[in-house]
Chain A
């Protein structure tokens, strides 16, 4: 999902879920911050590198693709951006290797048990944890059908893409062209989009997530058809407007649970009633062919809350964190975000490891083996123990 949705649309959903303006803005801030909290950022803040929730392109270019490097990449991208749907799924092929199966099982899709667990562990943990959970939940819709690990056999879609464009005469199909230009913006009028380079290496960083499909999953308006690499030659119709609508309403449902308004967070439950009066407006924003939807979401959010919403400012809470005394850092805004990030990463890594896959690394029982090289997680245990 794009940054506009992660900040402005999340703000709208939080208001609709009953949060105050201030709470909604902070929650949206944390949702957006998940795409910015890289090791470089944490290094600058002098925070624990283990809490990284993303990797910047410059970090990915230099990322190691040996076993431990790949595990680090998988921990970050599977935990926060491509949450696996079913860690025990069976591929459609009759015979496949254990290695293939372990990658297939990391394919992201909404309404998996892990998203339920994600929302559950955020309950009672504050706004920061709620923001992290909303990012993960929203991305399960936008990033569905891709895996958060570098994999040619999973993430490299067959080259033929067709965009479905609604018009007065019904829906027309148009071939999508890709290019690798970092400087040229996507050309919506001619369906020319930027994607990552083809690499026939299974573990190339080019084959991480939806890189080979460009930003198509990040545009709310687009509908397209393609053959995924894992799909046994079955074509997929990706209907982003529908997925984004579902994501929005599921976020409201989840946030009502986090606020204590509902007792349980059930999968496949969407709070359609919450948007009944503004449904047309939301559809209009989602379906509008545009590269940036920030202004539209912001206007809707301000209309809903009756408050002016400030633009996202990455520096907003950094001074508070860096100037706090060492023993007080965990009480700061970003300190709580870091703990929420560690909790999410720890939970997902553990679930992947329990499923028999070592793609995200090992998950150890700290009470028996101590923290070893993972001192950063000590603060997470303290937090849980409190």
Chain B
């Protein structure tokens, strides 16, 4: 991980901490902001991927995958935007769903890393499992209790966890396989 990638990771971690703090202070309104930030981030990322496809990946073997990924991300961005108009419960359940999905992605990456004998697969697996477990547990617990604030606080704690993991990853010593 380069110096700039580390800085970027720390800044993203700090922004997530700020979002979590806002959720703790304003639990009734803050998830609109979180959903909007998520939607906007996905929109920017989707357009970046689309731009990369049309300028570069279009000429690459297997480059169509970039196009499909861009379309899926943009679709998800629009969906996230539309979710903000729905009821409070749906928004927070959706955010937890996205969080669980990120956990599944992390687990899939861990499986792939293990297949390629990469040493950090355990770290990824534990991280992914914690994310999925937290999302499922919060959803079930919040719905049983029927307490929306509980879900919001739980989600805020999950954001703090993600932020800390981001910062820790940015500060860790990285060992990579580089072919010279």
Give the number of A-B contacts (CB < 8 Å). Answer: 105
Neighbouring A residues of B57 by C-beta, 8 Å: 152-153
Question: Is there contact, CB below 8 Å, between A64 and B3?
Answer: yes
- A residues contacting B by CB (< 8 A) are 35, 54, 56-57, 60-66, 69, 91, 93, 96-97, 99-100, 104, 152-153, 156-158, 178-182, 184, 194-197, 200, 202, 205-206, 209-211, 213-215, 227-233
Question: Is there contact, CB below 8 Å, between A61 and B180?
Answer: no
The residue on B at minimum CB distance from A216 is B179
A257 to chain B, nearest CB (A): 29
Neighbouring A residues of B66 by C-beta, 8 Å: 200
Beta-carbon contacts under 8 Å, B51-87 to A: 52, 54-63, 66
The residue on A at minimum CB distance from B57 is A153
Question: Is there contact, CB below 8 Å, between A63 and B2?
Answer: yes
24 sample A-B contacts, Cβ–Cβ < 8 Å, listed by A number: A61-B178, A62-B3, A64-B4, A96-B59, A97-B56, A104-B59, A153-B57, A179-B115, A180-B116, A181-B117, A182-B175, A184-B117, A202-B52, A202-B56, A206-B178, A211-B178, A213-B179, A214-B179, A229-B61, A229-B62, A230-B60, A231-B61, A232-B61, A233-B61
Cα–Cα, bound, A66→B180 (Å): 21
Neighbouring B residues of A195 by C-beta, 8 Å: 177, 179
Cα–Cα, bound, A213→B177 (Å): 12
Neighbouring A residues of B54 by C-beta, 8 Å: 97
B144 within 8 A of A: no
> Would you list the 10 A-B pairs with minimal beta carbon distance, nearest first?
A181-B117, A179-B117, A57-B178, A153-B60, A97-B55, A211-B179, A180-B116, A180-B118, A93-B59, A180-B177
A61-B1, A181-B117, A196-B177 given as contacts; is B59 within 8 A of A91 (CB)? yes
Neighbouring A residues of B52 by C-beta, 8 Å: 202
Cα–Cα, bound, A229→B3 (Å): 29
Question: Is there contact, CB below 8 Å, between B59 and A153?
Answer: yes
- B residues contacting A by CB (< 8 A) are 1-4, 52, 54-63, 66, 113, 115-119, 174-180
Neighbouring A residues of B175 by C-beta, 8 Å: 182
The residue on A at minimum CB distance from B65 is A200
Cα–Cα, bound, A358→B55 (Å): 17
Cα–Cα, bound, A62→B1 (Å): 6
Question: Is there contact, CB below 8 Å, between B177 and A194?
Answer: yes
A382 to chain B, nearest CB (A): 32
A62-B3, A64-B2, A65-B2 given as contacts; is B59 within 8 A of A182 (CB)? no
A204 to chain B, nearest CB (A): 10
Question: Is there contact, CB below 8 Å, between A181 and B180?
Answer: no
The residue on A at minimum CB distance from B62 is A158
Neighbouring B residues of A200 by C-beta, 8 Å: 66
Residue in B55, B63, B118, B176 whose CB lies within 8 Å of A61: B176
The residue on B at minimum CB distance from A69 is B2
The residue on A at minimum CB distance from B5 is A65
Neighbouring B residues of A231 by C-beta, 8 Å: 61
Cα–Cα, bound, A180→B174 (Å): 14
Cα–Cα, bound, A54→B179 (Å): 12
Cα–Cα, bound, A228→B174 (Å): 29
Question: Is there contact, CB below 8 Å, between B179 and A197?
Answer: no
Cα–Cα, bound, A229→B56 (Å): 11
Q: Which of A62, A66, A228 has the most CB of B within 10 A?
A: A62
Neighbouring B residues of A158 by C-beta, 8 Å: 61-62
Question: Is there contact, CB below 8 Å, between B4 and A196?
Answer: no
Neighbouring A residues of B56 by C-beta, 8 Å: 97, 99-100, 152-153, 202
Residue in B55, B60, B62, B63 whose CB lies within 8 Å of A99: B55
Supply 16 further A-B pairs (C-beta < 8 A) apart from A152-B57, A180-B117. A57-B176, A61-B174, A91-B59, A97-B54, A99-B55, A152-B56, A153-B60, A181-B118, A181-B177, A196-B176, A196-B178, A197-B118, A215-B179, A229-B62, A229-B63, A231-B61
B10 to chain A, nearest CB (A): 16
A63-B2, A181-B117 given as contacts; is B60 within 8 A of A194 (CB)? no
Cα–Cα, bound, A179→B63 (Å): 23
A185 to chain B, nearest CB (A): 12
Neighbouring A residues of B2 by C-beta, 8 Å: 61-65, 69, 205
Neighbouring B residues of A91 by C-beta, 8 Å: 59
Q: Which of B1, B52, B60, B113 has the most CB of A within 10 A?
A: B60
Neighbouring B residues of A229 by C-beta, 8 Å: 60-63
Neighbouring B residues of A202 by C-beta, 8 Å: 52, 56
Question: Is there contact, CB below 8 Å, between A196 and B179?
Answer: yes
Cα–Cα, bound, A65→B56 (Å): 18
Question: Is there contact, CB below 8 Å, between B179 and A179?
Answer: no
Neighbouring A residues of B59 by C-beta, 8 Å: 91, 93, 96, 100, 104, 153, 230
Cα–Cα, bound, A152→B57 (Å): 8
B108 to chain A, nearest CB (A): 13
The residue on A at minimum CB distance from B174 is A61
Question: Is there contact, CB below 8 Å, between A65 and B4?
Answer: yes
Question: Is there contact, CB below 8 Å, between B55 and A197?
Answer: no
The residue on A at minimum CB distance from B49 is A200
B43 to chain A, nearest CB (A): 19
Neighbouring B residues of A66 by C-beta, 8 Å: 4
The residue on A at minimum CB distance from B4 is A64
Neighbouring A residues of B4 by C-beta, 8 Å: 64-66
